């Protein structure tokens, strides 16, 4: 029987997840289909309950439902428990389990695909929202140094910093000297503007959790103009977190490089 999976979000029409998982399934010989679910903002629970009642095997969860998913599932893995957010749901023994593969995806993209060094890297995360909560633990475990969260509202950064044991600053307090800077704000959607001072990016490896198929998000363009050592958008993270979800569902680790390469080639 063909196993059914989907990504649930609102909006979700732009999602690349069906293409990514179709490529994984074809390469690994897996009998599965992968669709999109777009319930109303208030309709998450009904939509996912109906999906699993109809025999669905697993879901990816994207904005704005990651916290709804955390509350809905029966149990969490360690990453989801720490993040307070779920991006992958699977069923085991008749119970739903919520996982979070965002941090795994980010660290693998940075270390394997980009070849950047994280161990000992003085690292700043811009933003203290749900996206940061999904990655901060994985970055800590990768061995980064002086991990600091910066947010426009400093008190929010301090709350998250106290919870995870990392530094906290206001965005206007971020200076230079960073090895890695990760943009986890939504500023890249409409341009960076005065997010942080230019010296924050100068000489650093700058990573945007947002992605553009051509790799040129507003944050990446801004960081390059500020003299960043290297820049990357989050397309590789999207593919790597999908691979981690695929492994949880199917027990198979797919090759990610061909899929990432194919996605980039569509922008040429």
Give the active site residues.
Answer: 66
Q: Which residues contact 8 (CB under 8 A, 6 or more apart)?
A: 36, 37, 38, 39, 44, 47, 48, 51, 59, 60, 61, 62, 65
Q: How many CB atoms lie within 10 A of CB 51?
A: 21
Q: Tokens 């609102």: give the residue.
A: 10
And the tokens for 15? 């999602």
User: Cα dihedral angle (98, 104, 109, 115), rounded to 10 degrees?
Assistant: 180
Give the C-alpha separation, 203 to 208, whole Å: 16
Q: Tokens 């106290």: give the residue.
A: 162
Run of H or E including 35: strand 32-37
And the tokens for 134? 């999904």
Q: Tokens 């947002």: give the residue.
A: 210
Q: Which residues contact 24 (CB under 8 A, 6 or more apart)?
A: 30, 242, 243, 246, 254, 259
Run of H or E including 237: helix 235-250
Q: Which residues contact 144 (CB under 8 A, 6 or more apart)?
A: 118, 119, 120, 121, 122, 123, 180
Do 193 and 123 form a contact (C-beta atoms < 8 A)? no
And the tokens for 195? 């997010």
């Amino acid at each position: 029987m063909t196993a059914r999976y989907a990504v649930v979000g609102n909006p979700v029409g732009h999602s690349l997840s069906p293409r990514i998982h179709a490529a994984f399934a074809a390469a690994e010989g897996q009998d599965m289909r992968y669709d999109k679910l777009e319930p109303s903002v208030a309709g998450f629970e009904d939509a996912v309950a109906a999906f699993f009642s109809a025999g669905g095997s697993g879901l990816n969860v994207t904005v704005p439902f990651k916290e709804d998913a955390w509350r809905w599932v029966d149990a969490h893995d360690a990453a989801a428990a720490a993040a307070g957010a779920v991006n992958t749901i699977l069923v085991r023994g008749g119970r739903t389990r919520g996982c979070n593969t965002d941090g795994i995806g980010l660290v693998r993209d940075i270390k394997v695909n980009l070849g950047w060094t994280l161990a000992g890297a003085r690292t700043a995360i811009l933003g203290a929202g749900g996206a940061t909560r999904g990655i901060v633990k994985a970055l800590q475990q990768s061995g980064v140094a002086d991990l600091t969260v910066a947010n426009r509202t400093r008190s929010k950064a301090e709350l998250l910093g106290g919870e995870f044991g990392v530094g906290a600053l206001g965005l206007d307090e971020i200076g230079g000297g960073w090895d890695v800077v990760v943009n986890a704000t939504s500023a890249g959607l409409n341009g960076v503007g005065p997010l942080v001072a230019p010296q924050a990016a100068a000489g650093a490896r700058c990573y945007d959790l947002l992605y553009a198929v051509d790799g040129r998000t507003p944050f990446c363009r801004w960081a390059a103009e500020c003299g960043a050592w290297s820049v990357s958008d989050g397309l590789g993270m999207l593919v790597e977190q999908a691979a981690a979800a695929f492994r949880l569902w199917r027990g198979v680790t797919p090759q990610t490089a061909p899929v990432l390469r194919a996605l980039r080639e569509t922008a040429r």
